[in-house]
Structure 1
């Protein structure tokens, strides 16, 4: 035999020896049969010596050491989840944009930006000539009422004594009624403004909340519609999000929703309180709101969040725990136990819900898969592949 031929023969014997040792210990991962939704298995072997019974073989002791737990693929009722981006916003039902309601000059600002206030707390004092005019109007109305009462008493006496006509008495009574109406109007105007006396107008908090905007400084001239403060009750906030028309059937008023803020590492539950009746002109989506309790103030307006709502419940053919899923060679696979060996089986997935995921193709009910600890099998498979490559 020539030297060159002898080298080729020796190399071939070494390769055969290494392949046999690897097959006796860890085995080789073969392309598993493709199990379709109809339950029929179609072999996808390529004729390269990969048998269906080949796979990753680990003893029960090794499985326990690696923390691998088995689960059985079985039908289960899954609702699926609708995942939508959103953000925290003020509760519009508990947010007020306060205005002075009188013109004048700011005399005092008693509340600062970010300050928590109680209902009735003083926010600002405004010196207003308008208040002086209203007080004068009320005083004049009071004098007219007093005069009208005196006139009515005199006309009643003259009419009873047959000195004057009944018409004079009736006119005096009408004048008193008109004067009393004018006095009532003047008093209501002052009462609505809540003046403290003289020409001073007091702006007070209408409910418990936090001053989130402040636009007043002492000495500033303001009008009746000047934006003075924005007050919001931050003990409750809204999670706002947009819903596409195709998803509106899954977003119902009163439905529970999970709201998660990855920046805070927090997740809470709330209920959908509003779904818009109109679609946005630009987005062509409907706005919706979830009401959240916010006792510690952690959910601040403007915070980005992710909302999750349950979809329509249905019973899939097969489902497995999400922990069973692994990615191998850019494919989603589960490790199926067949004839004592674990085979990496590619699968096509459907909806997921509460830790379970629907398998549309690749598994049949009753097959055992590695759930918890399935990553350990992927690691062992990587080691076996590395040994075969050398």
Structure 2
């Protein structure tokens, strides 16, 4: 039997051994827990890093972004380039159009060949139409007296020696006829029955088949204007146009306007021209033959350039930029851009310009 003292010692020894085992067990569990948590953290960080890597942190995302952005940029730039080409074609389309033969006829488009022409250098002046004083007469009574009858009215045509009125002489008390010295038209009447005829003309009679164009020329152009030069005359208030030659240049200058008169004779067989009309005239001071010329009306402005519309095969009309030279109302010299023999729109070229503009607008939309 164990003594009480020995039993006590044994119990204490067992208690100490159990306590040590319990402490060691707790320490292992704690370290295991820490290790597990550490592993979990590490794996967690690895898991967090993997999404970064997958989303492209340095490689994946860069590849995706660069590829996507590159495709977008390439697609966008490629589209712009194609649009640029389309725009270039569009600009080319702006410069040409197709018009059928029937449309050309309906729109009165005239096509001519480029060739040589006589181009005139002119000076533009203004003026007025007057009676031709060489064929006009101011009819007076030969002797003072009382007007007994008036036989003709303004606008009536008379022959030479036709009686216009009768006058009773104050001296002889005889009635005598007042006759027209020229054939022509009664322009003015200043006679009434019962009035006294004296120095004042009773009638003005003129041959209006030939009138005068009096042109007012500035002194600075005096040396350029000479008798015999051609002149193109146009009425400012009507669409009357005619040609004449300068017959005389008057030697005096009008003080207030500092102009002198150059006179031309207008043929007026149909009486369309009337005395008093305001006119504009182009005096031809020089003429020259040019190898390449077009009708002046053919020239149009397109995108800041002077252009001529060239007729090509298949009913195509193309705008051709040109360099202009000497020009008059009918012809214009072409220094570059065209060659002899090319067919161009000479009349109603504005219609072709409108068709090109319309085609360009439709193409743009």
TM normalised by structure 2 equals 0.63
Where do 1:1-390 residues align within 5 Å?
A: 15-21=80-86, 23=88, 26-29=89-92, 56=95, 71-72=113-114, 77-130=118-171, 132=172, 198-223=173-198, 225-261=199-235, 264-315=238-289, 319-329=293-303, 331-334=305-308, 342=318, 344-345=320-321, 347-352=323-328, 355-359=330-334, 363=337, 370-372=344-346, 374-375=349-350, 378-379=353-354, 381-383=356-358, 385-386=360-361, 389-390=364-365
Q: Secondary structure at the match of 2:91?
A: coil
1:204 CA drift (Å): 1.2
Say which SS state the counterpart of residue 276 (structure 1) adopts: strand
Pick closer, same or farther for the CA change 1:69–1:208 going to 2, 3 Å.
closer
How many angstroms apart in 2 are the aligned matches of 1:269 and 1:324?
23
Could you list the per-position Cα deviations for residues 146-192 of structure 1 after superposition, in whole angstroms to 9, with x for gaps in the alignment?
xxxxxxxxxxxxxxxxxxxxxxxxxxxxxxxxxxxxxxxxxxxxxxx
CA-based RMSD of the aligned residues comes to 4.1
Could you say which structure has the larger radius of gyration? 2
Contact 2:317 2:352 in 1 (8 A): no
Where relative contact order (Cα < 8 A, 6+ residues apart) is larger, the structure is: 1
- Corresponding residue for residue 9 of structure 2: none
Name the CA shift for 1:205/1:383 in 2 (closer, same or farther; >3 Å): closer
**Is the CA contact (8 Å cut-off) linking 1:75 and 1:315 kept in structure 2?**
yes
1:281 shift after superposition: 1.3
- The Cα of 1:357 is off from its aligned counterpart by 0.7
CA–CA separation in structure 1 for the residues paired with 2:317 and 2:239: 40
Mapped to 2, the partners of 1:357 and 1:15 lie a distance apart of 42
Deviations 1:238-284 (CA, angstroms, capped at 9, x unpaired): 12211233444554333443333465544333332222111211222
Secondary structure of the structure 2 residue equivalent to 1:79: strand
Distance 2:343 2:90 in 1: 18
Long gaps (5+) in structure 1: 30-53, 133-197
**Conserved in 1, the CA contact under 8 Å of 2:232 and 2:244?**
yes
Q: In 2, distance between residues paired with 1:62 and 1:110?
A: 65
- Give the CA deviation at 1:206: 0.9
**Aligned mates of 1:112, 1:75 — CA distance in 2:** 54
Deviation track 1:289-319 (CA, whole Å, cap 9, x = no partner) reads 2212322322111223333343312355854
The offset of 1:92, in angstroms, is 0.8
1:202-250 deviations in whole A, cap 9, x for unaligned?
A: 2111111222111111111233x12322121222211221123344455
Contact in 2 for aligned 1:337/1:343 (Cα 8 Å): no
C-alpha distance in 2 between matches for 1:375 and 1:216: 56
> Cα offset for 1:384?
5.6
Please state which structure has a larger fraction of its residues in strand. 2
The alpha-carbon distance between structure 1 residues 206 and 341, as it changes in their structure 2 partners (threshold 3 A), is closer
